Structure 1
Amino acid sequence: MPFVQQRYGKANVRVLRLHRQGDYHEVREVRVKVTLDGEFTRAYTQADNAPVVTTDSMKNLVQVLALEHLARANEPFSLAIAQCFLDRYAHVAKALVEIDETSWSRMQVDGQPHDHSFVKAEGGTPFAAVTVTRSSQDIVAGIRDFQIMKTTQSGFVGYVRDEYTTLPETTDRILATRLQAAWRFKSAQPTDYAAVTKAIRAALLQVFATTYSDSVQDSVYRMGEAALAAAPDIAEITLSMPNIHYLPISLSHFGLETQDQLFLPTDEPNGHIEATMRRG
């Protein structure tokens, strides 16, 4: 029986790094997934474990590398992990490292940022996904579950209407989504990954908040266009914007008019709009 392909690894390796400078502390918390490909076929077809790097060893290596590299951004930390497996094990041909970050913001106490107390940050989950082979590397970063809303300056008209269309047209609606943005870096690595992320996030929100949206598709394209203009270090960006619907609630049965003040949040079923924009 032909053996087509394999990959294996260790998922959900969680680690928090605490950096102390006297009473002033900084924290970084991540969840890491490592996936390896290479000369592992005989472990499956011949019950020979000789080439198998145990997933427990993968967990240990991630923790060791976290001591030195977790203070840096997710992208270089991912690269360090992936390169470590290629350097240590000659039969590993490709390493994929995925990182989700749990972001912590400094707690405000008496109007001042506290030295060593934190609250979980809002604004989505930063992530990185790095694939490294013997001859190439691919770096993708982004943010997922970034929930954003605008309560006006959005509409949807002029779409296909047939016997199955029940959706009314509107030029003023709530637009809300759980944004996922993933950007791929050019071959040259930037000097400041955090600055790239900050520039992209600002560009996305600027378009979303300050311009009229004729559709989610319209917003997706213009947000992606703005992100590419704001971050010269990226080659392309993919945006996914599923609808979170806010449906008007009627209280007419009780003789009350809501005057467009009450809405029912619902995200199932939802429209799912996704597009990739790339430099020309």
Structure 2
Amino acid sequence: MPLISNSYGKGRVRIMRVGRDGARHEVRELSVQAMLTGDFTAAYTQGDNRQVIATDSIKNIVNIVARDHVGAENEVFAGALAQYFLDRYPHVTGVDISASETKWRRIEVEGAPHDHAFVLDGNGKATVTLAATREGTRLASGVDRFTFLKTTQSGWEDYWFDEATTLKPTADRLFATAMEAQWLWSGVPASYEAANAAVLAAALKVFATTYSPGVQATLYQMGEAVLAAVPEVAEISMACPNKHYLPIDLSPFGRAFDGQVFTPTDEPHGQIVCTVGRG
């Protein structure tokens, strides 16, 4: 029976490119699929894999091209990736690249876009919870999966070391989280909408402008800032998964890691929780 058509490749290759040309960083996060067509018929009909480029190699090539084209627009990156396959493998006759971008926009601090701190575009869901009895009500506002990151000014050092510890300390890492937060009202603000915006602005200013020795310390500082900024808030509770962006080791391919190419991963993640109140 004839083999009508065939193609194969690697999907959901997640890549974060961080352009560090100066103090102002650029971030581009993509999920990439690269599919190849060419002289692969024998792998299907005869189990002969000699012409087959391993899908793990395809993933590595996505990472290599990302490192070599950190600042390229997504369309340019896709073209460079396809050309890499065509130039390197004469038996590849066609390459189909598809990529979807996770869009980030800069956090604004006092009206100015920040150099290295970002929030997810189209971000989060606003929440309200109300518990009412004849004696009174308990009202809280919040956000769910409010996502933000910064590309520098974050570290993790001097933690407990024992035989189970494999994580290496660092004074410079990406810090990203998708926060679930609720703030309990003790008074009625002039505008809940404006007060909610002030809560997030106060928290994000701390996040963007202070060095983070760990998610725990940053959450506490964010809580303090919220209570200082919005007097009608009695307490704020925050739960922050530590969304990891893992450095990609490209040394086998002659490329040093310099804080520019990462693999985004959501699971497993650290889960950091705290409540900050007025006492």
After TM superposition, is the score higher than 0.5?
A: yes
Deviation of 1:256 (Å): 2.5
User: What is the rounded CA distance, in whole Å, between the counterparts of 2:148 and 2:159 in structure 1?
Assistant: 24
2:215 corresponds to which residue? Answer: 216
User: What is the rounded CA distance, in whole Å, between the counterparts of 1:274 and 1:195 in structure 2?
Assistant: 25
CA deviation string 1:168-209 (max 9, x = no partner) = 0100000000012210000x3223111210110110000000
User: What is the rounded CA distance, in whole Å, between the counterparts of 1:198 and 1:175 in structure 2?
Assistant: 22
1:233 corresponds to which residue? Answer: 232
Matched, 1:129 2:145: no
Matched, 1:177 2:183: no
Matched, 1:207 2:210: no
User: What is the rounded CA distance, in whole Å, between the counterparts of 2:155 and 2:234 in structure 1?
Assistant: 31
Deviation of 1:136 (Å): 1.2
**SS of 2:157's equivalent?**
coil
User: What is the rounded CA distance, in whole Å, between the counterparts of 2:278 and 2:257 in structure 1?
Assistant: 47
1:244 corresponds to which residue? Answer: 243
**SS of 1:267's equivalent?**
strand
Q: Moved runs in structure 1, 4+ residues, more than 3 A?
A: none
Deviation of 1:254 (Å): 2.1
Deviation of 1:261 (Å): 1.3
**SS of 2:201's equivalent?**
helix
1:268 corresponds to which residue? Answer: 267
2:162 corresponds to which residue? Answer: 162
The AA in structure 1 aligned to 2:143 is I
Deviation of 1:255 (Å): 2.4
CA deviation string 1:25-65 (max 9, x = no partner) = xxxxxxxxxxxxxxxxxxxxxxxxxxxxxxxxxxxxxxxxx
The AA in structure 2 aligned to 1:153 is Q
Q: TM-score, normalised by structure 1?
A: 0.55
Deviation of 1:252 (Å): 2.0
Deviation of 1:258 (Å): 3.9
CA deviation string 1:129-150 (max 9, x = no partner) = 0111122101010111111000
Deviation of 1:213 (Å): 0.2
CA deviation string 1:3-32 (max 9, x = no partner) = xxxxxxxxxxxxxxxxxxxxxxxxxxxxxx
The AA in structure 1 aligned to 2:267 is E
Structure 1 unaligned residues grouped into runs of 5+: 1-120
User: What is the rounded CA distance, in whole Å, between the counterparts of 1:238 and 1:260 in structure 2?
Assistant: 32
CA deviation string 1:151-182 (max 9, x = no partner) = 00001111100011001010000000001221
User: What is the rounded CA distance, in whole Å, between the counterparts of 1:162 and 1:258 in structure 2?
Assistant: 27
User: What is the rounded CA distance, in whole Å, between the counterparts of 1:212 and 1:256 in structure 2?
Assistant: 29
Q: CA RMSD in A?
A: 1.2
**SS of 1:242's equivalent?**
strand
**Whose RCO is larger (CA < 8 A, sep 6+)?**
2
**SS of 2:158's equivalent?**
coil
Deviation of 1:260 (Å): 2.4
User: What is the rounded CA distance, in whole Å, between the counterparts of 1:267 and 1:254 in structure 2?
Assistant: 26
The AA in structure 2 aligned to 1:239 is M
User: What is the rounded CA distance, in whole Å, between the counterparts of 1:208 and 1:274 in structure 2?
Assistant: 16
Deviation of 1:267 (Å): 1.3
How do 1:11-26 residues align onto structure 2 when only pairs under 5 Å count?
none
Q: TM-score, normalised by structure 2?
A: 0.55
**SS of 1:241's equivalent?**
strand
How do 1:83-98 residues align onto structure 2 when only pairs under 5 Å count?
none
Deviation of 1:272 (Å): 0.3
CA deviation string 1:68-114 (max 9, x = no partner) = xxxxxxxxxxxxxxxxxxxxxxxxxxxxxxxxxxxxxxxxxxxxxxx
